[in-house]
Chain A
Amino acid sequence: MYLTEEEKALSSEYLEKGFVIRTVADSDALNWMQKQFIKIISDSLGKPFKGPPIDILNFIHRDVPAEKLNAFRLSVIREINSLKNFRQMYFRVAKPFLETLVGNELSMQRRINLSIQLPNDDSSLLATHADTWSGDSPYEVVVWLPMVDCYSSKAMYLLPPLDYPELADNFVIQAGNSSEDLYQSIKNKVNWLAVKYGEVLIFDQSLPHGNRVNKESETRWSLNCRFKGVFTPYGDKKIGEFFEPITLRAASQKGMIYKLPKAS
């Protein structure tokens, strides 16, 4: 493989741990996104917020009760996805890592997702799952971007690659009754991924992951979006309806429309 030492190190870490955490590649893009969040939240709640953006996000539970959280979350998702540059900025924070781990001809999920977890709220939990179990291609990675510092129960967990084969072999037994049973069967093996604002996590979505009740005193805000090679196999999430190419190269553009000369 003609990879640089840096690329080899990143690739080995991803394969061994199932994830990598790095300082974002473009802090201007991250800060632009954070600024958009504050504006959207202020507009949505009809209230001008002052002070450091990270504090506004960390303590949003003072303004958004749990029963209004989902409607609030959906309205923020709608707004960020309607911003022309948001997806491009999102890509920029992880671009060099994606190019090493996935490739330089990429498809990106069309809609960026947002997770908001208020302290002690059990209404927006993500039970143990692997995206591939519900139709995602194993060629996809997730770029997970926190808007606040995520740590302890405010973070997400991931089962390490070495522990996956055992689960896969005993899946019916471990997942047979409920997703809680599944979590209980792996809880002593999972890694809790502490990611600070200013860092980006890229993880293997084919490994079981999820979150639990956020027992910290701050609200978690994290974005997630899937990327894959344009010409790698798609699962149930297809090109067009779920993914779209973002970095198609000249040779591919040419190759896709090439026709051999007429010989008869």
Chain B
Amino acid sequence: MSLVRGYIFSRPFMGERVPQHVQNIVIRDYCERNNLQYLLSATEYAMQNCHLVLKQVIGELSNIDGLVAYSLFQLPEQALERELIYKELIKQNKVLHFALESMKTVTRQEFEHIETLWQIRLTMEHCYEPNHE
């Protein structure tokens, strides 16, 4: 059974806020469904644009198989910072899971797919949204 560390947020991300215990429930459920042994989640600092905890966790993956983030949209908003994370995980051959989206990434191709989803999401912020009121 693969051993994975959870990763949750303590601040809103991409305009969304999810209570920490709910993030943990979703991660635990994902781990159960995917036969992963879940280690207690690391909680990202509340400061805007801060990913220090994510970087610390990636630096401490040597004895485990990967990381399960609550959502792929908890990755840094800057593309360059995301790219550094993908590179480091590929180099270490560790798996990055996203519980909410039920996705796992380990190859360059899979990380590129994540990047496409990011680009769409960022573009949507500039797109027309009908008012349903």
Contact = CB atoms under 8 A, between A and B. Distances in A.
Given A135-B10, A176-B52, 16 more contacts: A133-B10, A133-B45, A134-B43, A134-B44, A134-B46, A135-B11, A135-B20, A135-B43, A135-B46, A172-B52, A178-B56, A178-B59, A236-B20, A236-B46, A241-B21, A242-B19
Contacts of A236: 10-11, 17, 19-20, 46
B17 A177 contact: no
B46 to A, nearest CB: 5
Interface of A: 132-135, 172, 175-179, 235-236, 238, 241-242
Contact of B47 (A133, A176, A179, A235): A133
A177 B56 contact: yes
B52 A235 contact: no
Interface in B3-26: 10-11, 17, 19-21
A238 B19 contact: yes
B19 A134 contact: no
A133 B46 contact: yes
27 contacts: A132-B46, A133-B10, A133-B46, A133-B47, A134-B10, A134-B20, A134-B44, A134-B45, A134-B46, A135-B10, A135-B11, A135-B46, A172-B52, A175-B52, A176-B55, A178-B56, A178-B59, A178-B60, A235-B46, A236-B10, A236-B11, A236-B17, A236-B19, A236-B20, A241-B19, A241-B21, A242-B19
Interface of B: 10-11, 17, 19-21, 43-47, 52, 55-56, 59-60
A135 B46 CA distance: 5
The 6 A-B pairs of least Cβ separation, nearest first, read A135-B10, A134-B10, A134-B43, A133-B45, A236-B10, A135-B46
Contacts of B20: 134-135, 236
Contacts of B59: 177-178
A125 to B, nearest CB: 12
B19 to A, nearest CB: 5
A176 B21 CA distance: 26
Nearest to A235: B46
A237 to B, nearest CB: 8
A238 B21 CA distance: 12
A175 B47 CA distance: 13
A261 B44 CA distance: 48
Nearest to B46: A135
B78 to A, nearest CB: 15
Nearest to B52: A175
B13 to A, nearest CB: 12
A238 B45 CA distance: 17
Nearest to B45: A133
A236 B43 CA distance: 12
A127 to B, nearest CB: 10
B96 to A, nearest CB: 20
Contacts of B11: 135, 236
Contacts of B47: 133
